[in-house]
Chain A
Amino acid sequence: MASLIDLANPTRFMRYSAVLLPWLAGLSAVSLVVGFYLAWFVAPADYQQGETIRIMFVHVPAAWLAMMFYTMMTLSSLGTLVWRHPLADVAQKTAAPIGAAFALICLLTGAFWGKPMWGTYWVWDARLTSMLVLLLIYLGIMALWRTLDEPSQAGRAVAILTLVGFVNVPIIKFSVDWWNTLHQPASVLRLDGPTIHASMLWPLLILAVGFTLMALVLHLVSMRAEIMRRRVRTLTILEAERLDRLAAEGAPA
């Protein structure tokens, strides 16, 4: 626990993250290269879906990361509201664009996978629709960050929104399931049918690790940028105040 509290200090965070980043980036690059090699040259084409199964290797990690980043944002929001952790809202703010990007990737690759397999780019399937709503929530969170200027106040407001969204996500999933069974006979080819073969599972797992590491690297880098942005902001305000004071002293009215 002591080490966690130490990490809470932004200066320490900057130091440790600078040491950690090259290693994480390297590890991520290696696993991505190995994973893509296996996925493209070693893994066989699926007997049912043919070569389009190659899309799965980015589609599934993207879906997993989109959900993982939202969970992480929820934990950070708790950190902001309950423990007033100084890094929590930095983590929350910088996670949103990354999570949104992976949700977008998941939707785009899903569309390009769906066209040859289902015959259409988009179906209002429960999973696709839930991911779309998740993307909308991400965009709303990013929009709220942009409209509130003062970082600490914005952090608390967005934390509340994130928590409400987190409560809502299972409800949305449930209602979309209900809505979907109501409207659509289950004619869609289900992807969870065939069990996955080891020659595909390994590249998928390695790529999932690679993408996760890459997302973490991006998250750490943007957290560093955000910490510096706040420092710049604080320093600029202090400097402006100092200049104001000097001006007031130099030229008394």
Chain B
Amino acid sequence: MTSAFLAILKRDLALASRAGGGGELALVFFLTIVVLVPFALGPDLNLLSRIGPAILWLGALLSMLIGLDRLFQGDEEDGSLDLIRASVLPLELAVLAKGLAHWLTTGLPLALAAPLLGLLVALPGEAMLPVAATLLVGTPALSFIGAGAAALTAGLRRGGLILPVLVAPLTVPVLIFGVSAANAALGGTIPFATPFLILCALSLAAIVVGTLAAAAALRHSA
């Protein structure tokens, strides 16, 4: 069972590292959004540094959604999803492996790149690490909420736009606590730990709920 889990994980990581994998594209998209925001707001560095965590979080959220609709679609098309369904590995664990692979190739690079992009929005030095940390613990929630929605739309040919529509309202809590934890690190009345721990709790809950929902959706769509 462990070997099947690792096999799926390895396969998805290998697929993502090949050309056309979602990972680096999401990173480029992240960069593009962070670059676009100052053009809309103006080059006022004070303003940018004040809303910097929000820009980074919003950019990361949108970048996570890019390509998420392909999470199960490719497997549905080439039939490997049927093999996964038929294998001894519980579907929940298979979903967990795929979600983990998605996070490793998308969420993790985004979180690591966030301090660099923070330079563009004049993020103060002491906020770099907290922003990266909030993204690090917050993006798994996005991966797994997204995995649930991706499983619902796995059979769709033209499911590209429906997925963000489904996912966005559900990510409101993650966004709120991610940004407020990052802002708390910049100074403010609340300690960093309070929203940060709630963010961790949200991520853990999302991993459980998202995995169960995605597995249920895949089972029912068979």
Contacts and interface: CB of A to CB of B under 8 A. Distances in A.
Direct contact between the two chains A and B in their complex (CB within 8 A): yes
Interface of A: 81, 133, 136-137, 139-140, 143-144, 147-148, 153, 156-157, 160-161, 163-165, 167-168, 171-172, 174-176, 178-179, 182
Contact of A175 (B152, B159, B177): B177
A136 B158 CA distance: 21
B170 A164 contact: yes
A137 B152 CA distance: 15
Interface stretch (B31-39, B118-126, B209-217): B209-217
Given A133-B169, A172-B173, A156 B148 contact: no
Contacts of A178: 176-177, 180, 195, 198
Interface in B39-86: none
Contact of B217 (A133, A143, A160, A176): A160
Interface string B171-198: 0110011001000000000100001001
A2 to B, nearest CB: 29
Main secondary structure of the interface of A (DSSP, over half): helix
A153 B213 contact: no
B169 A136 contact: yes
Given A143-B165, A144-B162, A171-B173, A164 B213 contact: yes
B159 A168 contact: no
10 closest cross-chain pairs (CB), A and B:
A175-B173, A156-B220, A136-B169, A179-B176, A175-B176, A140-B166, A157-B152, A137-B169, A171-B173, A133-B169
B173 A168 contact: yes
Contact of B162 (A136, A143, A179, A182): A143
Given A156-B221, A165-B170, A175-B176, 8 more contacts: A139-B165, A140-B169, A143-B162, A147-B159, A153-B220, A153-B221, A163-B213, A182-B190
Contacts of B159: 147
A174 to B, nearest CB: 8
A133 B152 contact: no
Contacts of B149: 161
B7 interface: no
A228 B125 CA distance: 64
A167 B166 contact: no
B44 to A, nearest CB: 21
Nearest to A165: B170
21 contacts: A81-B216, A136-B169, A143-B165, A144-B152, A144-B153, A148-B156, A153-B155, A156-B220, A157-B152, A160-B148, A161-B149, A161-B166, A164-B148, A164-B209, A164-B213, A165-B169, A168-B173, A171-B205, A172-B172, A178-B177, A178-B198
Contact of B156 (A136, A147, A175, A179): A147
A147 B180 contact: no
B168 interface: yes
A161 B152 CA distance: 8
B142 to A, nearest CB: 13
Contacts of A165: 169-170
A157 B217 contact: yes
A176 B152 CA distance: 27
Contact of B176 (A144, A157, A160, A176): A176
Nearest to A147: B162
